[in-house]
Amino acid sequence: MNEWLDPLLLSRWQFGLTTVYHFLFVPLTIGLAFTVALFQTAWVRTDKAKYLELTHFFGKIFLINFAMGVVTGIVQEFQFGMNWSDYSRFVGDVFGAPLAFEGIIAFFLEATFIGLWIFGWDKLPRGLHLATIWLTTAGSIASAYFILAANAFMQNPIAFRINEERGRAELTSIGELLTNPIALASFPHTIFACFMVSSGLVISVAAWHLLRKQHEESMRPALKLGMWMMVVSGALTTFFGDSLSLAMTAAQPMKMAAAEAMYKTATGAEASFSIFTLGTPDGVSELFSIRIPYLLSFLSTHTLNGTVEGIDNLQAQYVSLYGPGDYTPTIWITYWAFRWMIGLGIAHILVAVVGLWLTRGGRSPQATWVWKIAIWSFPFSLLAMSVGWIFTEMGRQPWLVFGLLRTEDGVSPNVSGAEILISLIAFTLIYGALAVVEFKLILQAVRKGPAPLAEPDPVSGKVKPQVTVY
Amino acid sequence: MDLNILWFWIIGALFIGYFVLDGFDFGVGMSLPFLGKDDLDRRVIINTIGPVWDLNETWLIVAGAALFAAFPEWYATLFSGFYLALLVILLALILRGVSFEYRHQRPEATWKKRFDLMIVIGSAVPALLWGVAFSNIVRGVQLDADFNYIGSFFDLLNPYALLGGLTTLLLFFTHGVVFISLKTEGDIRQRAQRLAVKAGVATIVVAASFLVWTTLAFGSLATGAFAALAAVALIGAFLANLRGAEGWAFTLMAATIALAVLTLFASLFPDVMPASNDAANSLTIENASSTPYTLQVMSWTALFAMPVIFLYQGWTYWVLRKRVSRTTVSAHVESAGH
pLDDT digit string, tens, across residues B202-241: 999 999 999 999 999 998 888 999 999 999 999 999 999 9
Q: How many C-beta atoms lie closer than 10 Å to residue A320's C-beta?
A: 8
Element containing residue B50 per DSSP (H, E): none
- pLDDT digits 0-9 by tens, B59-110: 999 999 999 999 999 999 999 999 999 999 999 999 999 999 899 889 899 9
- Amino acid occupying residue B117: L
Q: Measure the CA–CA gap between A59 and A270, rounded to whole angstroms.
A: 50
Distance from CA of A224 to the nearest CA of B (A): 27
Q: Which of A228-232, A341-345, A361-365, B295-299 has the lowest mean pLDDT?
A: A361-365
* pLDDT of A432 higher than 70: yes
Distance from CA of B40 to the nearest CA of A (A): 11
Within the 253-292 window of chain A, which residues sit less than 8 Å (CB to CB) from chain B?
Answer: none
At A284 the pLDDT is 63
Residues in B closer than 8 angstroms to A451, CB to CB, are 336-337
The CA angle B97-B102-B104, to the nearest 5 degrees, is 125
Q: Measure the CA–CA gap between B160 and B136, rounded to whole angstroms.
A: 8
Contact B60, B20 (CB under 8 A): no
Q: Are strands A168-171 and A160-163 parallel, antiparallel or unpaired?
A: antiparallel
> Does B81 sit within 8 Å of A119, measured CB to CB?
no
The CA angle A324-A326-A328, to the nearest 5 degrees, is 140
B-chain residue closest to A125, CA distance: B319
Which CA distances in Å does B50 have to A117, A354, B53, B307, B324? 12, 43, 6, 24, 11
B139: confidence class by pLDDT, cuts 50, 70, 90:
very high
Most confident listed range (A291-295, A449-453, B295-299) = B295-299
Q: Which of A296-300, B7-11, B27-31 has the lowest mean pLDDT?
A: A296-300
- Best of A437, A464, A466, A469 to disrupt the B interface (most B CBs within 10 Å) is A469
Q: How many CB pairs lie under 8 A apart between chains A and B?
A: 245
Mean pLDDT confidence for A91-102:
96
* pLDDT of B257 higher than 80: yes
* pLDDT of A341 higher than 70: yes
User: Considering the entire predicted model, what is its pTM?
Assistant: 0.94
Mean pLDDT, chain A, integer: 92
Task: Give me the residue from B76, B83, B301 closest to A89, CB to CB.
Answer: B76
> Does A118 sit within 8 Å of B50, measured CB to CB?
yes
End-to-end CA distance of chain A: 47
> Does A107 sit within 8 Å of B61, measured CB to CB?
yes
* pLDDT of A295 higher than 90: no
Residues in A closer than 8 angstroms to B328, CB to CB, are 469
Mean pLDDT confidence for A191-219:
95
B255: confidence class by pLDDT, cuts 50, 70, 90:
very high
Does A143 contact B at CB distance below 8 Å? no
Element containing residue B278 per DSSP (H, E): none
* pLDDT of A281 higher than 70: no
Distance from CA of B211 to the nearest CA of A (A): 29
A367: confidence class by pLDDT, cuts 50, 70, 90:
confident
Task: Give me the residue from A73, A78, A469 closest to B329, CB to CB.
Answer: A469
B314: confidence class by pLDDT, cuts 50, 70, 90:
very high
- Of A226, A224, A304, nearest to A270 by C-alpha is A304
Q: Is the peptide bond before A398 cis (omega within 30 degrees of 0)?
A: yes
At B274 the pLDDT is 95
Q: Measure the CA–CA gap between A448 and A61, rounded to whole angstroms.
A: 11
Mean pLDDT, chain B, integer: 94
Q: How many CA atoms lie within 13 A of A183 on its CB side?
A: 23
Mean pLDDT confidence for B184-197:
95
A301: confidence class by pLDDT, cuts 50, 70, 90:
confident
Mean pLDDT confidence for A98-108:
96
- pLDDT digits 0-9 by tens, A449-470: 998 888 888 887 788 888 888 8
- Of A382, A377, A385, nearest to A354 by C-alpha is A377
Distance from CA of A416 to the nearest CA of B (A): 10
Contact A215, A449 (CB under 8 A): yes
* pLDDT of A427 higher than 60: yes
At B291 the pLDDT is 95
* pLDDT of A262 higher than 90: no
Residues in B closer than 8 angstroms to A22, CB to CB, are none
Q: Is the peptide bond before B270 cis (omega within 30 degrees of 0)?
A: yes
> Does A168 sit within 8 Å of B72, measured CB to CB?
yes
Task: Name the CA radius of gyration of chain B, rounded.
Answer: 20
- Three-state DSSP class for A358? helix
Q: Which of A282-296, B26-40, B253-267, B307-321 has the lowest mean pLDDT?
A: A282-296
Mean pLDDT confidence for A246-271:
87
Q: At residue A279, what are phi and psi to the nearest 5 degrees?
A: -160, -175
Does the ipTM surpass 0.85? yes
Mean pLDDT confidence for A347-363:
91
Residues 6+ apart with CB under 8 A from B114: none
Task: Give me the residue from B75, B78, B100 closest to A470, CB to CB.
Answer: B100
Choose between A466 and A136: higher pLDDT.
A136
At B336 the pLDDT is 59
Q: Measure the CA–CA gap between A257 and B300, rounded to whole angstroms.
A: 42
Handedness of CA A7, A8, A9, A14 (dihedral sign): positive
- Best of B58, B100, B273, B298 to disrupt the A interface (most A CBs within 10 Å) is B58
Q: Measure the CA–CA gap between B91 and B93, rounded to whole angstroms.
A: 5
